Amino acid sequence: MKHTLSILFLAALSMIACKQPNTITETSPLPVNHNSQEELARKTTKTNWLLPPYKYWSIKNMDKLFDVGVIEKKGEISSFEKGAIDLTGLKIEQFDGKVYGFEEHLDSNRTDGFLVLHQGKVIYEKYFGNMTENTTHNWFSVSKSLTGTTAAILAYEGLIDLQKPIVEYLPELRETAWDGPTVQQAMNMEVNIKFDEIYLDPRSDAYKFSRVTRFVVNPKIKPEFDSVIDYFKSVKRGNNTRELFHYVSLNTEVIGMIISKVTGKQPSKVISEKIWSKIGAEQDAFVVRDPNGYEMVSAAINSTLRDAGRFGQLMLNDGYFMGQQIVPRSVVKSIEKGGSVAKFAESKRGKVFTDFHYTNQWWHTDKEAYFAKGLFGQWIYIDPSTETVIVKFTTSDIPTSTEYDWINNMNLMEEIVGYLSEVN
């Protein structure tokens, strides 16, 4: 399906005072050439790391800027065979009606790395600019899906009851937005929270939370709270009870707190034990920690492109990988089934993407495919109908909560799986 522009989309675009992403190529990487990478590393700080040109280095070097919790790999590395299907002849329609060739689309959307797995084989893998096969890259909100899957495993094992109120696990959140909703409602982003996740506004709640965690440091604005839990105690219910789906990163952080509460371990350790140590990863992944040791599981997990592909392949295989059932099959099937179309339709995103839905920290299309998506253009897209996993790491010029990225790259994903359905 090609998604048409809506009045909402046009209004959102009119608010963005930025140019569209510039074209990059493999031989002309980024606005900073290869020889300036050391200079960028010296000049990048916790204050400027989300701004160009610094973010073209920082997003691939988060462990050099922040403390991190290591998500350990173990055992032998799993390998992928090479497939023979050629995707480079595909044409991709853009949000503005232009049509780009396949690799022209990747360049124009400032892709860092792109991987396509079909029936367990690599049919496309390419790195752009200063990214290589060994480079780690911040997942941003793709992190939510790995966190949610980990929590769902703990629920299967009986350590978490998804139908219990959140405050039974986190009594410190009584009299907040999470006093009343269940763990499942947090997993599905169905908590009524007074919170605006607007990435272009430094006065927004999203930026306030980032300042509390010191994920973004603004020397002119002192953080309003000393710790994450103090901040969470201040978050109240919202007024819009009709918006039954409300995508808020704080819900994922609550899930991370519950993971720690029931296991007595940091989320990085649990994610390693339950998933990462079992998928034959090439490298350790990691998650950014704040100065108090708090791990930001909603937006700060990092890995290589191929290892993100291994996680995607694990989900495509109904949780079975490397000769073992890693994620319970029932957990994957629940994610594949998806959530409430009606609740999603009440949200702003639902006005543009009709018949989409959301469950257990995963987005779901109007077809069989479901996906994880992150700020600045990160994707893990899983299509069971064609046995396809697509991973896209990006450093776009503007935050990709805007519809241009959704439409451009949803068209990309659907062109790929549509073509593969024909050649199967």
pLDDT in tens, 368-397: 999 999 998 999 999 999 999 999 999 987
Q: What is the per-residue pLDDT across 251-270, written as a single tens digit (0 to 9) for each?
A: 999 999 999 999 999 999 99
Cα R_g (the chain), whole angstroms: 20
pLDDT of residue 223: 86
- Yes or no: say if 197 and 205 are a contact pair by the CB < 8 Å rule: yes
Would the pTM of this model clear 0.85, i.e. be above it? yes
Q: Using the predicted structure, report yes or no on whether residue 166 has a pLDDT greater than 60.
A: yes
Q: Using the predicted structure, report yes or no on whether residue 143 has a pLDDT greater than 90.
A: yes
Does 271 map to a domain?
yes
CA distance 173 to 62: 30
Q: Which 8-state DSSP code applies to residue 333?
A: H
Point out which residues pair with 194 in neighbouring strands: none
Rounded to the nearest integer, the mean pLDDT of the chain is: 89
User: Dmax over Cα atoms in the chain, in whole Å?
Assistant: 57
Residue range(s) defining the domain that contains residue 311: 7-11+33-156+250-423
Band of the pLDDT at 199, cuts 50, 70, 90?
low
**CA-based nearest residue to 24, from 106, 116, 124:** 106
Residue partners of 133: CB distance under 8 A and separation at least 6: 125, 127, 304, 305, 306
- Yes or no: say if 140 and 374 are a contact pair by the CB < 8 Å rule: yes
- Yes or no: say if 404 and 336 are a contact pair by the CB < 8 Å rule: no
Band of the pLDDT at 20, cuts 50, 70, 90?
very low
The dihedral region occupied by 164, where left means phi > 0, alpha psi between -120 and 50, and beta the remainder, is beta
Q: Using the predicted structure, report yes or no on whether residue 361 has a pLDDT greater than 60.
A: yes
**To 10 degrees, the CA torsion angle through 64, 65, 71, 73?**
-10
Q: Using the predicted structure, report yes or no on whether residue 22 has a pLDDT greater than 60.
A: no
Residue partners of 86: CB distance under 8 A and separation at least 6: 123
Does 90 map to a domain?
yes
Band of the pLDDT at 402, cuts 50, 70, 90?
low
Q: If you write DSSP's letter for every residue of 195-252 in order, what string do you get?
A: ----TT-TTSHHHHHHHHTTSS--TTS--S-SSHHHHHTT--B-S-TT------HHHH
Q: Count of CB atoms within 10 A of residue 46's CB?
A: 15
Does 136 map to a domain?
yes
Band of the pLDDT at 138, cuts 50, 70, 90?
very high
Does 123 map to a domain?
yes
- CATH number for position 148: 3.40.710.10
**CA-based nearest residue to 279, from 378, 146, 174:** 146
Beta-strand relationship, 370-374 and 357-359 = unpaired
How many domains are there within the chain? 1
Average pLDDT value for residue range 333-339: 97
Give the amino acid at 212.
V
**Secondary structure of residue 302 in the 3-state scheme:** strand
pLDDT of residue 224: 87
Cα-based distances in Å from 229 to 165, 253, 325, 343: 18, 10, 35, 29
Angle at 71 between CA 335 and CA 250, to 5 degrees: 55
Q: Using the predicted structure, report yes or no on whether residue 299 has a pLDDT greater than 50.
A: yes
**Secondary structure of residue 184 in the 3-state scheme:** helix
Does 83 map to a domain?
yes
**Secondary structure of residue 141 in the 3-state scheme:** coil
CA distance 368 to 386: 10
Q: Using the predicted structure, report yes or no on whether residue 32 has a pLDDT greater than 60.
A: no
pLDDT of residue 2: 46
Does 119 map to a domain?
yes
Give the amino acid at 134.
N
